[in-house]
Amino acid sequence: MGIKISSIELKDVEIIELENGEFEKRYINPKRYPAFLTNRALATGKRLGITKSSLFAEIVKLSDVIGDEDEINSDDLTPEQAEVIDADKYLPVIYLAVIGANKTLELSYEEFLDKYQGDIEEIVNDYMELVLPYLQQDPNEFKKGLEKSTSKK
């Protein structure tokens, strides 16, 4: 049985001035992309310098916070659990999964950040959806692959 392919929605932000003089943010041009981690994508992340810590260590920390839950709800987090959550570490992995699954997609990390509009719950849930299947399938092999792709030489 293969790994489930996730999808990530990217969209543009448009600021509209309303008749009353106030401004409103709207999302336009939404598009869903398949997303999964590949060795090529992880190596790209290392080369670009956007994966700075051990991805496996981050997965283990986040797994400890979430426990048996499939999703995270920020309203239910203790302050100690909230400290573990660091979107700056998860966003690069989500980006790498998008470019890993879409080899011809020309999207820089900065362009991805402009188009990925997830809040902290969505970021964490997308991240976990991308990495947990690999841990559940064969944690030792995934750990070896992550360590190889992100190890410092």
- Render each residue's pLDDT in the chain as its tens digit; 153 residues: 566 789 999 999 999 999 999 999 999 999 999 999 888 887 888 888 877 655 656 666 666 666 555 555 555 666 666 666 777 888 998 999 999 999 999 999 999 999 999 988 899 889 888 887 766 655 455 556 556 655 554
Domain residue ranges of the chain, discontinuous segments joined by +? 6-150
Cβ pair 22, 151 in contact under 8 A: no
Residue 13 and residue 25 in contact, taking contact as beta carbons nearer than 8 Å: yes
DSSP-based three-state secondary structure for 45: helix
**Which pair of structure tokens corresponds to residue 77?**
């987090």
Q: Is the pTM of this model over 0.75?
A: no
AA letter at 73: N
Query: What are all long-range contacts of 130-134, with beta carbons under 8 Å and residues at least 24 apart?
Result: 130/6, 130/35, 130/36, 130/37, 130/93, 130/94, 130/97, 131/37, 131/55, 131/59, 131/93, 132/59, 132/63, 133/3, 133/4, 134/3, 134/37
Q: Are 127 and 96 in contact (CB under 8 A)?
A: no
Nearest Cα to Cα of residue 98 among 50, 137, 57: 50
Position 84 scores a pLDDT of 64
